[in-house]
Amino acid sequence: MSSCPVARQLIHTREIKTQVYRREDGLWDIEASLIDTKAKDFPLASGVKLAGEPIHHMILSLVIDDQFNVLAASARAQSVPYAGYCAKIEPNYQMLVGLNLLNGFRGAVKEKFAGILGCSHMTELSTILPTAAIQAFAGEVIKVADHGTGEMPFQLNRCHALRTDGDAVKKYHPTWFGMPLTPKDIPKK
C-alpha cells in the first residue's frame, strides 16, 4: 500500500459470516453465508442487479456432533445471477453428510465439488466450516487449557504461533514447551 492517501471508489463487497449454535439435542448447527454486492448497478446476461442488491446470497448449513461429524447438510441460494439455474446444485451439497470437519474435509470438498461439480461460492463457504466449528467448540467441547488433565491443549501445534518449540507456548503453556514436533505437525510442501 502507498504511504500517501489516494482517493478510491468502492466497487465490490463480499461479506462472509459464520454462526454456530448449540442445540437442545446435543448437536450443533453451523451456518455460513456469503453475500456479494456491487456499489453501482451491475449488468448481467440475466438482467441488471441494482447497486447494493445481492448478486450472490448463499447459505450453507450443517448439523454436526461433538466429534465434528457432519450429520446433515443443506445449501440455499437466496440470490443468484442466474435464477432457476444456480440453485439446481443445492441438493449435491448433501454429499457433505458423513464427512468429518477435522479429517480430510477440505480435500473431500475439493474432490466432490471442484469446477462444474459444484457452485464455487458454496464450495468456498464449505472450506471455512472446520475453523468455525473449532472456534465454537473452544472451551465448550475442546479443552484449550491444561487444567491438570495431562492432555495437551487442542490448539498447540496447529499454527505457527502455538508450536511447542515456540516462544508463545514457552510463555503461556510452559508445561508443553519443548514437546517434540511430530510429522503431522509439519505439513509436506
The predicted structure's pLDDT at residue 147 = 62
Q: Is residue 189 part of a domain?
A: yes
Q: Is residue 60 part of a domain?
A: yes
Q: Are residues 36 and 120 in the same domain?
A: yes
Q: Are residues 128 and 90 in the same domain?
A: yes
Q: Are residues 39 and 74 in the same domain?
A: yes
Cα→Cα distances 142→2, 13, 66, 137, 156, Å: 42, 34, 9, 6, 12
Q: Are residues 30 and 61 in the same domain?
A: yes
Q: Are residues 124 and 164 in the same domain?
A: no
Q: Are residues 128 and 184 in the same domain?
A: no
Q: Which residues pair with 49 in a beta bridge?
A: 42
25 within 8 A of 34, measured Cβ to Cβ: no
Q: Return the residue matching grid coordinates 515456540.
A: 166
Q: Which stretches of the chain score pLDDT less than 50?
A: none
Q: Are residues 40 and 86 in the same domain?
A: yes
- Domain of residue 39, residue span: 12-137
Q: Give the domain-ending residue among 95, 111, 137.
A: 137
Q: Return the residue matching grid coordinates 448433501.
A: 94
The predicted structure's pLDDT at residue 87 = 93
Q: Give the domain-ending residue among 103, 122, 137.
A: 137
Q: Are residues 38 and 122 in the same domain?
A: yes
Q: Are residues 133 and 167 in the same domain?
A: no
Q: Are residues 123 and 148 in the same domain?
A: no
The predicted structure's pLDDT at residue 143 = 66
Q: Are residues 74 and 158 in the same domain?
A: no
The predicted structure's pLDDT at residue 148 = 66
Cell of residue 89, nine digits:
446444485
Question: What pTM was computed for the model?
Answer: 0.83
Number of domains in the chain: 2
